[in-house]
Amino acid sequence: MKPLILGLTLGAAAFAHVMSMSTGDISIEDRHAHYEIRMPLYEMSHVPGSEQSLLDHIRFSGGGGDAKLLSKKCEVDQGLGIYFCAVEYEFPGPVDKLDVECTFHAVTVPNHVHLLRAVNGGRRDQAIFDFSFPRASLRFRPPTPAEVAATEFGAGAMRALGGLVQILFLASLVLAARSRGELAAVATMFLAGQIASALVVPHTSWQPPPRFVEAAAALALAYLAVEILMLPAAGGRWLIAGLLGCFHGLYFHLFLQSTGYGPGFVLLGAGVVEVVLIAAFALLFSRIGRVAAALRPVQVSASALLAIGMIWFLLRLKS
């Protein structure tokens, strides 16, 4: 168990950001398309060959074939902290349906999300791409209410599974709980903090930088590990869980802000998946604890949490 958890946690600290998202806009007129991409500069450190490697991982098809790249212009905007590319494409014929394949997660980090907004002759559509959904078809018609609900619920569910860090947060809650009642309390506070943060922050003037959010979350995670190791009888862990939920909710705030999705279905989808994962971790850890009690799995896992919290914090300070 120790090598597994250490491998997962150190791997998460090494390459995963809690918030890893880029945006793109494509405007189509007959056979011509203008595409703009905005990628955070801290993600470009993972991309070999800069713009060419990046553009090799997005492909547009429509009008009877693949779009042909005509020209590109990329530049760094240090003030906004983004890498910006403007690209011109030409399709074989007029575009009615746009097929897109996007694998930016393969050249940035595994939990990277790309939001693509598209306009075609005044008609609009959008799609989200990540490791689980690298392809989409945009048909440029208004979605039905059922499609909106399914899309936003699914987006929230997938964001809850967006990377090792998100899953690590949930596993830490289960490790911190010493009884079923306490697990219910910490899980409830985590979800409440997540929802409150995602709903309240948009109504304030504060726009939290991703670097701050990740550094603060790392310290909260490390503190929770210290409590498990050094203060096994301490109370009030539900407060730390609520704090972790607030930091995690800032990720959903950024996602909602970027996509324009309504918070209701997104947060519902995330909450359902998180509750299922917490229950699964609780079952798994209880069985491991009975079988391998002599190996002190809680203490070993908490030590791994402390290590990742501090390494993650130091990495984000340097990034």
Q: Considering the chain, tell me which residue range(s) the CATH 2.60.40 domain(s) occupy.
A: 22-143
Position 77 confidence tier, pLDDT thresholds 50, 70, 90 = confident
Q: What is the mean pLDDT of residues 194-215?
A: 85
Does the pLDDT of residue 291 top 60, yes or no?
Answer: yes
Position 60 confidence tier, pLDDT thresholds 50, 70, 90 = very high
Pairing assessment for the beta strands 58-62 and 98-102 based on DSSP bridges: antiparallel
Mean pLDDT of all residues belonging to the chain:
84
pLDDT in tens, 152-187: 999 999 888 876 677 777 888 888 888 899 999 999
The pLDDT assigned to 163 comes to 67
Q: Are 236 and 186 in contact (CB under 8 A)?
A: no
Entry pTM: 0.76
Does the pLDDT of residue 114 top 60, yes or no?
Answer: yes
Does the pLDDT of residue 10 top 60, yes or no?
Answer: no
Does the pLDDT of residue 286 top 80, yes or no?
Answer: yes
Q: Tokens representing 134?
A: 């690298």
- Tell me the percentage of the chain whose pLDDT exceeds 70: 87
Q: Tokens representing 270?
A: 């995330």
Beta bridge partners of 32: 29, 90
22-143: which CATH architecture? Sandwich (2.60)
Phi, psi of 84 (to 5 degrees): -120, 135
